[in-house]
Chains A and B, each alone.
Chain A
Amino acid sequence: MERSRPAEAEEPDDGLSPGAEQKPARRPARRIRPLAVPRFLPAGDLAVVVEFGDAIDPVINAAVIALDAALAASPLPGITETVPTYRSLLVQYEPREIGFEALVAGLRDLLRGSLRREPPAARRWTVPVAYGGAFGEDLDDVAARCRLSPEQVVETHLDAEYQVYMIGFAPGFAYLGGLPEVLHLPRRQNPRPRIPEGSVIIGGQQGAIAATSIPSGWHMLGRTPARGFDLARDDPFLFRPGDRIRFRRIDAAEFASLSLNAAQNQPIAVLEA
């Protein structure tokens, strides 16, 4: 078989340029506002990218999620699928049913309404995590590079509330905004060919939860027994863009018992009522 090498980079990007090892982490831009009129960029004959800005930023991301929610509430004809990402919404459509101009006009109408409308309430999760040791092999290394103790890294990570910016790269892989700046680090020099499912990792300005076993150059802080992707559930994917996440520290014994519960399809991550 000649065609065996994969065609793409084998790790999720972290919002830092690949050459960033020598440079300090790029700071998240402050006071960024989504474009009042987003850009409508064609992505072939079956999709348009609705781009709200050019930064990883909670306000821009909220505009993406608001348009996505508005489309779900009042669908336009011919739309086949939408994909919310950091700063743009990919809107896939069937041109036999709707042309580009009519689609953009419909999206503009919806945008005028969605900016006035109250954004949908975010879901809030508490996700148990076992930190360090075999659960988070990079904890000590991260601590040394951030000039903190491992315990301080864990506390800092636990202190923050995170926002799911998007799901991408691999099934259920949740990119998390809100990582405290003291933990911003370039990727590892040597990416791992595999990290286990449930890995709680950091890279660049972001955190993430890997729902499946994937190659990754991000730093492993810990692991959650919660299953981010499980076909046995009615809702196979646990998190969706816009969700808020807090972590709760567990020990090895609790990780073991929660893993058993997870295997019996019991919910592990807790959704705030």
Chain B
Amino acid sequence: MAVRAALLALAPGPLATLQDRGRRGWQRFGVSSGGAMDLEALEAVNALLGNPPDTAVVEFAWSGGEWEVRATSCRLAVTGGDFALTVDGMARPAYATMTLVPGQRLRIGAASDAVWGYLAVARGFQVAPQLGSRSTHLRAGLGGFGGRALQPGDVLPLAAEQAPAGPERTLGRKAAAADAAVRVVLGPQDDYFEPGSLQTFLSAPYQITREGDRMGYRLAGPALMHGRGYNIISDGVVAGSIQVPGTGQPIVLLMDRQPTGGYPKIATVVSADLGMVAQRRPGQTLRFRQIGLGQARRLRVEYLEGLDGLPQQVRGIAPADPARRPFWLKG
């Protein structure tokens, strides 16, 4: 083979990094899990392409930029939101596969309903895992493509020289309502807060500010008062931990959070709602709703069943018979 199969990042979007489900077992050594901000979108794009669910994909924020294929052919797809896609200027839908040949360019614009998007290729990228994962951890310079965000001109090696046989596929997307409440389990340090502040936290809207990244989002709303000071002895932090520093303004900690932290955590977002929180945009609000551990467990089981069922939801599109092309391929 003369040229190695690759996806060329002509102009990757902001914060474009390789992500999979993240790494497990290293938080005790100071490495938090990392992994896709919207796990469901990661699993959806891999299901569309027939990949194992933990296959690493390109995650980007706001818009995905411009890409070109350097292979015989390459099947890809984009999920996460209603991102505006074009191939050589022709519109293509998100949540559907497409096959590109050399010379064709995929442009990924913005979405109206999401922050994080996922661009995947069939059979994945040929990148070695570090500490058991291909997820990029920017702060630690770990994993992914040299431990860093993708830059224009980066060449991502592909595992497959050509696209798999078979028709293109599509997947229906069930998006959460833009104003759906975020379900939380109180604690572990809810006893650090005045009772009135717990009520405030569970009733007032908290706006997502512009200060946010893969580590977490700072929120703005009525200040939460600590009854017992705002320092705790540092303990372990999970994705979804809502910590409240001395300002009284909460911070939702997400995938690239610090492994340990020294501020009281009033509540924790349940795993099923993490992707929804990550996909809310600055200016949008979060309302928190307390649930018990029993309900949280049922939600978790339901959520995992939903993820496990994604491959069965994928539908084939009629092959591209020139006489019967879908409307969006005409012209």
Chain A residues near B (Cβ < 8 Å): 1-9, 13, 15, 17-18, 41-47, 49, 51, 54-56, 80-90, 92, 95-96, 99-100, 166-173, 211-212, 229, 231, 236-237, 240-241
Mark contacts of B40-70 with chain A using CB atoms, 8 A cut-off: 1 yes-contact digit, 0 otherwise.
0000000000000000000001100000000
Q: Are A8 and B257 in contact (CB under 8 A)?
A: yes
**A-B contact number at CB 8 A:** 180
| CB-based contact B217/A7 at 8 Å | yes
Residue contact B236 to A88, C-beta cutoff 8 Å: yes
Question: Which residues on the B side are within 8 Å of A55 (C-beta)?
Answer: 233
Give the distance to chain B from A196, nearest Cβ to Cβ, in Å. Answer: 14
Answer yes or no: B122 CB below 8 A from chain A CBs: no
B260 in contact with A44 (CB, 8 Å)? no
Residues of A within 8 Å of B229, CB to CB, are: 17
* Residues in chain B near residue A80, CB distance under 8 A: 24
Q: How large is the interface on B (under 10, 10 to 19, 20 to 34, 35 or more residues)?
A: 35 or more
Task: Enumerate 22 A-B pairs (CB-CB under 8 Å) in ascending A order.
Answer: A1-B15, A3-B15, A3-B210, A3-B213, A5-B211, A5-B212, A6-B213, A7-B216, A8-B257, A17-B229, A44-B241, A49-B187, A81-B28, A83-B27, A83-B260, A86-B235, A87-B235, A90-B235, A168-B259, A169-B258, A240-B28, A240-B29
B299 within 8 A of A: yes
Of chain B, the residue at the smallest CB distance from A212 is B140
Given contacts A42-B293, A45-B300, A49-B236, contact A172 B185 (CB under 8 A): no
Closest Cβ–Cβ distance, residue A195 to chain B (whole Å):
15
| Closest B residue, CB atoms, query A231 | B130
Complex Cα–Cα for A215 and B25 (A): 25
Pick the contact of B268: A15, A17, A42, A172 (CB < 8 A): A42
Summarize A's interface: helix, strand, loop or mixed: loop
Q: Decide yes or no whether B301 CB sits under 8 A from chain A.
A: yes
Q: Are A41 and B28 in contact (CB under 8 A)?
A: no
Q: Are A82 and B28 in contact (CB under 8 A)?
A: yes
User: Closest CB of chain B to A91's CB: distance in Å?
Assistant: 9
In the bound assembly, the distance between CA atoms of A235 and B272 in angstroms comes to: 34
Nearest Cβ in chain A — how far from B40, in angstroms? 16
Would you give the shortest CB distance from A205 to chain B, in whole angstroms? 11
B49 to chain A, nearest CB (A): 26
A81: chain B residues within 8 A (beta carbon): 24-25, 27-28
B: residues with CB less than 8 A from A are: 14-15, 24-25, 27-31, 61-62, 130-131, 139-142, 184-189, 210-213, 215-218, 229, 231, 233-236, 238, 240-241, 245-246, 251, 253-254, 257-262, 265, 268-272, 282, 293, 296-297, 299-301, 304
* Chain A proximity of B71: nearest CB distance (Å): 29
Q: Are A171 and B31 in contact (CB under 8 A)?
A: yes
Q: Is the CB of A166 within 8 A of B233?
A: no
Q: Which residues of A contact B272 (CB under 8 A)?
A: 45
- Residue of A at shortest CB range from B298? A95
A241 lies within 8 A of B304 (CB): no
Bound CA–CA A8/B237 (angstroms): 12
- In the complex the two chains form, is B293's CB within 8 Å of A1's CB? no
**Are A8 and B258 closer than 8 Å at their CB atoms?**
yes
Q: Quick one: given A171-B29, A240-B28, are A83 and B261 in contact (CB under 8 Å)? A: no
Q: When the two chains form their complex, are residues B139 and A17 in contact, meaning their CB atoms are under 8 A apart?
A: no
